[in-house]
Amino acid sequence: MAKITLDPVTRIEGHLRIDTRVEGGRVVEAWSKGEMFRGFESILKSRDVFDAPLIVQRICGVCPISHAIAACQAVEEASGQAPSRNGVLLRNLILGANYLQSHILHFYHLSALDFIDVAAILDYRGKAPQLKALRDWVLKETRSGRILPASPFIPQFPGGLSTDHAWNIGALTHYLEALDVRSETHKMAALFGGKMPHAATLIPGGVTTGADPAVVENFRSRLIKVSRFIEKSYLPDLLEAARQYPQYSKIGRGVGRFLSVGAFEEDGAPWLPNGYLSFEIGTVPGNFERFSLGKVGEETGHSFYSSNGNPQAQKSGAYSWVKTPVYGGQSVEVGPLARLLVADASGVQDVSRALDDTLQAAGLTRDHLMSVIGRHLARGIEARLLVERMDRWLSELHLGAASCEPPLPGASGSGLGLVEAPRGALIHELSADAGRIANYNCIVPSTWNFAPRNNRGAPGAVEAALVGTQVDPRHAGIEVARVVRAFDPCLACAVH
């Protein structure tokens, strides 16, 4: 076998193609290709700055909150405004709910089918109504010749799936429950965001909904339900996947450089680009340092853009519509694993404790974190940590106080938004003139992770992670898919 191509990579948002060259049963080279162009930065030009939080949310239905908050921060800096304390806490809560939604979506509905064998439903003999209904529906559709067995869950690659019937059925049960749990998280976000997925209340200055005691308790009761699912289903399923797929704790290492720009403002001070944030800011491993915007660059040597950033579909050497963000001239990995590693390296104690506990339960070490299983575990650990923080933020809300400062019109100058989206470091850069957007630039998590080679030919994070992956020719690329999906690709975001 000379190559494996996944085109399109399925169960993601947007259009991603992965090409690999295989020698001796291992991937020796990989190319990550974003196959579409969007153009949000052009759409934003000359709009009113107050439109930015609404427009940028349309980049993506999965992580709209992080885009909105980044835009609010950028507009606030350009207009010299600080959000209210309640507004900051409400942003944290809406974003936290969106993280929980996104992490549970990623494991159960986007990735689990690479591990569990859903065809186990055909042999289900139990009494759970949801599972019986699912089995009967699959059997009926199959007999009618409309679909193949397990088609509600296609596409699924052959080979390498779990043969543990009890886990297959258990995880499938959780797959169905996760639909309801995600609905709870959406409702939580909508309680303060007005609606989901694209929230209506996030504006420069804060959040237009107040902190009403009944709404706060409504949010808290749903958080308890979601927390129960994380503890009883999500984390145990992650540990079971780690147990059944030990080889996946050893592959998918990647570039080994991690970046986090800090998530969730905590100290009540006006927002500052380098202020204290609960997941900390920096790069690891080894040489933890504070994040510096001056070290961020965007390269386009292998992307379909001209040197001044305009789309250029016919360009020699280009193979992706994703640009190549670099930090200090090098490709880095962003995302939940990066956040945990940065926080761990910078002494955030509850993060270090949670890492220790989970790794011990999985029989793994910190070195195993830089792997497919490590990236999945990182989301579960983060979900548990977030529930604790969200409960605290609810308690810190000043009930009945304003959650929003009056808007300051006529923003002029530049502004920066730095937010950790569920998938990693998100940067929005704005320049404004008399309240209108002169220029807007987004550097987005999946852009970092799914970048093509940089200008010096070094691979992007996913391209590097794929190298060395052992592949079985009978499996049609499931090993490659597992490595790729552990990064949780969103190409709609990556290209924006």
Point out the residues that are catalytic: 13, 60, 63, 67, 423, 446, 490, 493
Q: How far is the CB of 111 from ligand NFE (least distance, A)?
A: 14
Residue closer to ligand NFE (CB basis): 63 or 113? 63
Write the DSSP assignment of 56-105 as a string of letters: HHTT-SSSHHHHHHHHHHHHHHHHT----HHHHHHHHHHHHHHHHHHHHI
Task: Give 102 or 346: the residue with its C-beta nearer to ligand NFE.
Answer: 102
Burial class of residue 174 in the structure, from the number of CB atoms within 10 Å of its CB (0-12 exposed, 13-18 middle, 19+ buried): buried
Residue 11 within binding range of ligand NFE, rule CB under 6 A:
no
- CA dist 405 and 76 (Å) reads 11
88 forms part of the interface with ligand NFE (CB under 6 A): no
**Residue 63 vs 404, nearer CB to ligand NFE:** 63
Does 66 contact ligand NFE by CB under 6 A?
yes
CB of 472 to ligand NFE, least distance (A): 30
Region label for 143, one of left (φ > 0), alpha (ψ between -120 and 50) or beta (otherwise): alpha
When binding is defined by CB under 6 A, the residue of 62, 332, 362, 378 that contacts ligand NFE is: 62
Structure tokens at 328: 């200090």
In 301-457, the DSSP E strands lie at: 324-327, 413-421, 424-433, 436-443
**Got the DSSP string for 43-58?**
HHTTSBGGGHHHHHHT
**Residue 201 binds ligand NFE, judged by CB under 6 A:** no
Q: Kindly calculate the radius of gyration of the chain based on its CA atoms and give it in whole angstroms.
A: 22
Q: Based on the shown chain and the rule CB under 6 A, indicate whether residue 97 belongs to the binding site for ligand NFE.
A: no
Task: Tell me whether strands 296-299 and 282-284 are parallel, antiparallel or unpaired.
Answer: unpaired
Q: How far apart are CA 42 and CA 439, in angstroms?
A: 8
Q: Which stretch binds ligand NFE (CB under 6 A): 257-265, 299-307, 400-408, 486-494?
A: 486-494
Which span sits near ligand NFE by CB under 6 A: 26-34, 61-69, 290-298, 456-464? 61-69
Residue 324 CB-density burial (10 A; 0-12 exposed, 13-18 middle, 19+ buried): buried
Q: Sketch the per residue contact string, 410 through 429, with ligand NFE: x for CB under 6 A, - otherwise.
A: -----------xxx--x---
Residue 67 interacts with ligand NFE (CB under 6 A)? Answer: yes
| 40 vs 167 by CB, closer to ligand NFE | 40
Least distance from ligand NFE to the Cβ atom of residue 470, Å: 28
364 binds ligand NFE (CB under 6 A): no
Kindly list the residues in this chain that would bind ligand NFE in the complex (CB under 6 A): 13, 60, 62-63, 66-67, 421-423, 426, 444-446, 490, 492-494
